[in-house]
Amino acid sequence: MSETNEDKDPAAKAAEDTADCPFCHLEGRKILFKNSLACAFYDGFPVSPGHTLIVPFRHVQSFFALTMDERKAIDDLILKCRDFLDIKYHPDGYNIGVNINESAGQSVMHVHVHIIPRYKGDTPAPKGGVRGVIPAKQSY
């Protein structure tokens, strides 16, 4: 009888999960900023110029599973990225977001924070911002 992923002990499952994780293997990516717990780099599929991701070095799926130190490290990088993006791209605003689980749009099961620079005219009706994840609820 073969062992299923659910039958494996947590350490073995975690090691297997990290083997194919693109955010555990950052070779070839240009790191914009890093600290001891996280790093920032441009999104490979940007929705706007300067779209950046911040990821913890530790492989963890949910934002809610981050340690307080990891959250602080990510927050520090958000501010550094904002300063950098302001100078390089001159956006008019930002969306900062995290997708948690597939039902919320998470496609890589390693926490990543999106910093999405926004520009006047990049969408016809930006009112409601992140509420647009459910288009019928965006306007209010």
Enumerate the active-site residues: 112
* Contact partners, residue 114, CB within 8 Å, separation at least 6: 43, 51, 52, 53, 95, 96, 97, 98, 99
Q: Give the 3-state secondary structure of residue 92.
A: coil
Q: Phi, psi (5° rounding) for residue 104?
A: -105, 5
Amino acid, res. 99: N
**DSSP result, 42-75:** E-SS-SSTT-EEEEESS--S-GGG--HHHHHHHH
